[in-house]
């Protein structure tokens, strides 16, 4: 046997070739070859099982990328339609079109306990004595809320009326029946016998919240970089509460504003030590936006379980849209927060037919009505939810019961809103100004007439705000940036298409509510008929954000289910999670760039440079000058001098020269003087050179884009008399 024959024999033994011909008759060479893989029966591989759902996602992502960054509408729409069609077919073929999760009721109906609940409650479910006292407390709230003063009597009767209406309509035993159970739990905690079980859902929930917290609070003081006159007005309201003893029900200035954020900011300024600063406003707003996330988790879980809740919460946590309206330091996130709370409780109430959830939801919504104006549209969405549930159940008894529920919710909302109702009665023009001027126009301004054509065009633009149209306000949005990045935009389209398909197939009311609630909750933006250029508006659309991110989570849930269908077992689950993680990584990078690069740069380019001028004022007062010897000459569309004082650390400083003659007020003051000027204010420069010929003009390069400014320093004329020195 030659060396070549030995090599061929080795290949044969390894299973990679036939036995050499020269050894064909040698029995000793006929040993079995090595089997590297066990023999399996040949089976047909269904390519669509492996590629169908991922292919649908990839095509949709290509379509949305063509729409958003590339602005190619026909390519984008075609790809999105093809991706949605493939996803629906695959969901039907692989049985991925599960119904909304309807788990067994974890809250069994309470049985009235004899001796605790009066017999009348057992019969009709209403505590009529509490109703009577609640009516009196609500009426007293109206009386005590006069003159826009939420005084101690109004606060007491308002709180009592809310509690009484909840007690009156509460289904089952009151808290006294749970006292023994709660006491035992407290005792168990005290003994150290209670333990927290770290489930997989809890760990993922904490991880998602951690990632979201970083995006909500990271660089909070720097992004956005400076405040506007709107922020100054808010700080003024906070000061009125904190230092001037005011307790407003409604703030009529600056178009009219609800006061909840100002009370929270006053509390934060006092106890967190942040003071009357823009950081105080940002902390309150960012916290409200962050607290929205757990309620988005709870809302999404009612539709499709824990996985949908986690995915929706994480998507809302990394999305640039909710992050911007939370970091801006204005009231915007309060509509999103209370919308999520109310919708979760109402959906849960209808899903389990548990009235108490609806009652608490109405109370939460009533408090939320003091947060931000667009929350006023949520009661309409709740009414639609009740109507859809009744229509799909097709039961007269259920419809009558839901009618009673709606009446109860209306009474709770009425009690919660009673102080604001009193203000609306006393000052209707101030209360309705912001809403009415957006719809019908503002006197003295050229506005579009409110027509059906404008309404339909606004609705069309609002619905496209997630993938095509954009908010035109630099305060809120980068130029030509839809509300969602290109990854989430594609997921939203797929989620809406799949939800429509699932409703057509199964006719479940929750699916139809998901689809209809979005245009309803967008109405605060859509109804800006007098100023169509302000639509779509990201902050006025905030109440729709919880539903939008539920829809975004649905195709991600399909990917997870696809992995389990494609490869049974743990490997399939890992496959689905890998796809979902990849999409989140791409989306997180895109949202980070939109928020911390594009938005931050555009904001700094557009906002005025009050922070650095405030630093100049502070440095002057701490060195050679005084607070009353530094002056800012006003100039059209330049800094708000009130903001300069806030950034200088001296709230209330507003030493502004509104006219040239005001610059002459310090002429007889022998102390050093400093005048801060706009770089293009040639008249002020000429006036100062004539009034103070010994002064020196300096040019300062601004950190803000094209916001360079001038200072004019005038030395003092004080001369010390050396004869006053004591002789040695």
Q: Express each pLDDT in 173-205 by its tens digit.
A: 876 556 666 677 777 766 665 556 778 899 999
Asked, as a colleague might, if the bond just before 224 is cis with ω within 30 of 0, I would say yes
Average pLDDT on 57-66 reads 95
Q: Which of 45-54, 243-252, 713-722 has the highest mean pLDDT?
A: 243-252
Identify the weakest region by mean pLDDT among 31-40, 206-215, 344-353. 31-40
Range with the poorest average pLDDT among 404-418, 552-566, 623-637: 552-566
Q: What is residue 589's three-state secondary structure?
A: helix
Burial of 507 (C-beta count, 10 Å sphere; 0-12/13-18/19+) = exposed
CA 700 – CA 707 distance, rounded (Å)? 9
Average pLDDT over residues 574-586: 93
pLDDT score of 450: 75
Q: How many Cβ atoms from other residues are within 10 Å of residue 531's Cβ?
A: 17
Least confident of 245-259, 399-413, 555-569, 700-714: 555-569
- The pLDDT, as a whole number, for residue 438 is 82
Q: How far apart are CA 325 and CA 698, in angstroms?
A: 38
Using pLDDT thresholds of 50, 70 and 90, give the confidence band for residue 720.
confident
pLDDT class of 14 with cuts at 50, 70, 90: very low
Q: Please give the Cα distance from 639 to 642 (Å, whole number).
A: 9
In contact, 370 and 332? CB cutoff 8 Å: no
Q: Is 317 exposed, middle or buried (0-12, 13-18, 19+ CB in 10 A)?
A: buried
Element (H, E) at 503: helix 486-506
Give 122's pLDDT tier (boundaries 50, 70, 90): very low
CB neighbours of 633 closer than 8 A, spacing ≥ 6?
Answer: 656, 657, 663, 675, 676, 677, 678, 681, 684
- What SS3 class is residue 80? helix
Point out the least confidently predicted range of 61-65, 111-115, 131-135, 639-643: 111-115
Structure tokens at 191: 């003994």
Higher per-residue pLDDT: 646 or 183: 646
Would the pLDDT of 25 be above 60?
no
Q: Which of 7-21, 132-146, 152-166 has the lowest mean pLDDT?
A: 7-21
Share of the chain above pLDDT 90, in %: 70
pLDDT for residue 128: 92
**Span 304-329, mean pLDDT?**
96
Per-residue confidence (pLDDT) for residue 5, from 0 to 100: 65
Burial level of 663, CB count in 10 A (0-12/13-18/19+)?
Answer: buried
Radius of gyration of the chain from its Cα atoms, rounded to whole angstroms:
33
pLDDT band at 723 (very low <50, low <70, confident <90, very high): confident
- % of residues, the chain, pLDDT over 70: 85
Q: Which of 252-256, 467-471, 540-544 has the highest mean pLDDT?
A: 540-544
Tokens 């919308």 locate to 339
Contact yes or no for 311/297 (Cβ under 8 A): no
What is the reported pLDDT for 109? 36
220 has pLDDT over 90 = yes
If you average pLDDT over residues 650-673, what whole number do you get? 92
CA distance 647 to 643: 6
- By the 10 Å C-beta count (0-12 exposed, 13-18 middle, 19+ buried), 289 is classed as buried
Q: Give the integer Cα–Cα distance in Å for 549 and 571.
A: 28
For 624-647, what is the mean pLDDT? 95
What is the spatial order of strands in the sheet that 673-678 belongs to?
Answer: 656-657, 630-633, 673-678, 709-714, 696-700
User: What is the pLDDT at residue 49?
Assistant: 61
Contact present, 712 and 675 (Cβ < 8 Å) = yes
Q: What is the spatial distance between Cα 159 and Cα 148, in angstroms, rounded to a whole number?
A: 17
- Report the largest interatomic distance among the alpha carbons of the chain, rounded to a whole angstrom: 132
- Check residue 105 and give its pLDDT: 37
- What 3-state DSSP class applies to 469? coil
- Does residue 113 have a pLDDT over 50? no
pLDDT at 56 over 70: yes
User: Would you state the pLDDT for residue 16?
Assistant: 44
Question: Which pLDDT band, with edges at 50, 70 and 90, does 9 fall under?
Answer: low
Q: Which residue has the tokens 């929706």?
A: 312
Average confidence (pLDDT) over 149-159: 97
Decide which of 503 and 93 is more confident. 503
Helix pair 570-593, 278-318: axis angle to 10 deg: 140
Q: Count of CB atoms within 10 A of residue 410's CB?
A: 13
- Pair of tokens at residue 286: 């960012």
Please choose, from the candidates 602, 631, 592, the residue with its C-alpha nearest in 3D space to the C-alpha of residue 713. Answer: 631
Question: According to the model, what pLDDT value does residue 679 have?
Answer: 95
Q: Name the 3-class secondary structure at 95.
A: coil
What mean pLDDT value characterizes the chain? 87
Integer CA distances (angstroms), 426 to 137, 416, 421, 513, 716, in order = 20, 18, 9, 37, 54
- The phi and psi torsions of 633 (rounded to 5 degrees) equal -85, 125
For range 47-55, the mean pLDDT: 75
Cα 381 to Cα 360: distance, rounded to the nearest angstrom = 16
pLDDT of residue 163: 96
- Residue 608 structure tokens: 């005025």
Q: Label residue 135 exposed, middle or buried (CB < 10 Å: 0-12, 13-18, 19+).
A: middle
For 431, the 3-state DSSP assignment is helix
pLDDT at residue 216 greater than cutoff 80: yes
Evaluate if residue 27 carries a pLDDT over 80: no
Query: CA–CA distance from 536 to each of 110, 433, 523, 529, 532 (Å)?
Result: 46, 20, 10, 11, 8
Q: State the pLDDT confidence band at 23, using cuts at 50, 70 and 90.
A: low
pLDDT tops 80 at residue 103: no
């Amino acid at each position: 046997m030659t060396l070549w024959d030995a090599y061929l024999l080795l290949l044969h033994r390894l299973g990679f070739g036939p036995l050499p011909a020269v050894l064909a008759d040698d029995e000793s060479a006929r040993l079995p070859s090595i089997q590297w893989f066990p023999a399996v029966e040949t089976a047909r591989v269904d390519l669509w099982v492996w590629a169908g759902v991922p292919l649908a996602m990839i095509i949709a992502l290509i379509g949305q990328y063509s729409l958003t960054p590339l602005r190619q509408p026909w390519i984008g729409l075609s790809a999105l339609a093809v991706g949605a069609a493939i996803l629906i077919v695959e969901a039907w073929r692989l049985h991925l079109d599960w119904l909304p999760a309807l788990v067994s009721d974890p809250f069994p109906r309470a049985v009235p306990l004899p001796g605790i609940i009066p017999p009348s409650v057992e019969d009709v479910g209403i505590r009529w004595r509490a109703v009577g006292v609640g009516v009196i407390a609500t009426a007293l709230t109206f009386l005590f809320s006069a003159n826009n003063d939420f005084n101690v009597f109004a606060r007491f009767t308002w709180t009592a009326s809310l509690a009484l209406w909840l007690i009156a309509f509460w289904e089952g035993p009151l808290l006294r029946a749970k006292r023994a159970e709660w006491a035992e739990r407290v005792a168990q905690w005290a003994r150290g016998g209670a333990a927290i079980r770290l489930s997989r859902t809890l760990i993922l929930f904490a991880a998602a919240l951690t990632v979201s917290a970083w995006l909500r609070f990271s660089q909070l003081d720097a992004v956005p970089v400076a405040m506007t006159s709107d922020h100054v007005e808010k700080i003024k309201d906070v000061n009125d509460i904190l230092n001037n003893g005011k307790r407003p029900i409604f703030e009529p200035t600056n178009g009219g504003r609800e006061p909840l954020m100002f009370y929270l900011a006053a509390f934060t300024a006092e106890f967190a030590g942040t003071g009357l600063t823009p950081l105080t406003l940002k902390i309150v707003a960012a916290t409200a936006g962050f607290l929205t996330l757990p309620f988005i988790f709870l809302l999404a879980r009612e539709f499709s379980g824990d996985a949908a809740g986690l995915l929706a919460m994480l998507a809302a946590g990394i999305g640039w849209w909710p992050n911007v309206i939370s970091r801006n330091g204005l009231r915007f996130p309060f509509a999103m927060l209370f919308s999520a709370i109310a919708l979760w409780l109402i959906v849960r109430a209808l899903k389990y037919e548990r009235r108490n959830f609806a009652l608490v939801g109405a109370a939460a919504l009533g408090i939320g009505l003091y947060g931000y104006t667009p929350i006023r549209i949520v009661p309409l969405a709740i009414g639609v939810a009740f109507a859809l549930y009744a229509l799909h159940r097709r039961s007269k008894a259920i419809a009558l019961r839901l009618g009673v529920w709606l009446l109860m919710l209306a009474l709770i909302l009425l009690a919660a809103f009673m102080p604001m109702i009193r203000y609306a009665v006393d000052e209707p023009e101030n209360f309705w100004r912001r809403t009415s001027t957006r719809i019908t126009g503002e006197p003295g301004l050229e506005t579009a007439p409110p027509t059906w054509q404008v309404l339909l065009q606004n609705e069309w633009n609002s619905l496209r705000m997630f993938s095509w149209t954009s908010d035109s306000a630099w305060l809120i949005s980068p130029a030509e940036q839809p509300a969602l990045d290109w990854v989430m935009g594609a997921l939203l389209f797929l989620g809406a298409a799949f939800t429509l398909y699932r409703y057509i197939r199964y006719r479940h009311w929750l699916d139809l509510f998901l689809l209809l609630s979005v245009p309803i909750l967008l109405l605060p933006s859509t109804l800006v008929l007098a100023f169509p250029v302000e639509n779509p508006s990201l902050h006025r659309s905030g109440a729709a954000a919880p539903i939008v991110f539920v829809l975004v989570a649905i195709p991600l849930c399909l990917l997870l289910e696809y992995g389990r269908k494609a490869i049974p077992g743990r490997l399939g689950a890992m496959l689905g999670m890998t796809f979902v993680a990849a999409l989140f990584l791409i989306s997180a990078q895109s949202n980070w760039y939109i928020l911390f690069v594009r938005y931050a740069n555009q904001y700094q380019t557009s906002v005025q440079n009050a922070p650095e001028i405030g630093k100049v004022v502070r440095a002057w007062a701490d060195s050679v000058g005084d607070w009353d010897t530094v002056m800012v000459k006003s100039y059209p569309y330049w800094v708000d001098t009130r903001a300069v004082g806030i950034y200088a650390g001296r709230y209330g400083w507003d030493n502004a020269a509104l006219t040239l003659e005001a610059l002459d007020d310090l002429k007889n003051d022998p102390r050093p003087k400093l005048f801060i000027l706009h770089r293009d204010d040639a008249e002020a420069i000429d006036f100062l050179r004539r009034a103070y010929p010994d002064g020196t003009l300096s040019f300062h390069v601004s950190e803000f884009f094209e916001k360079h400014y001038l200072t004019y320093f005038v030395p003092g004329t004080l001369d010390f008399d050396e004869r006053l020195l004591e002789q040695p």
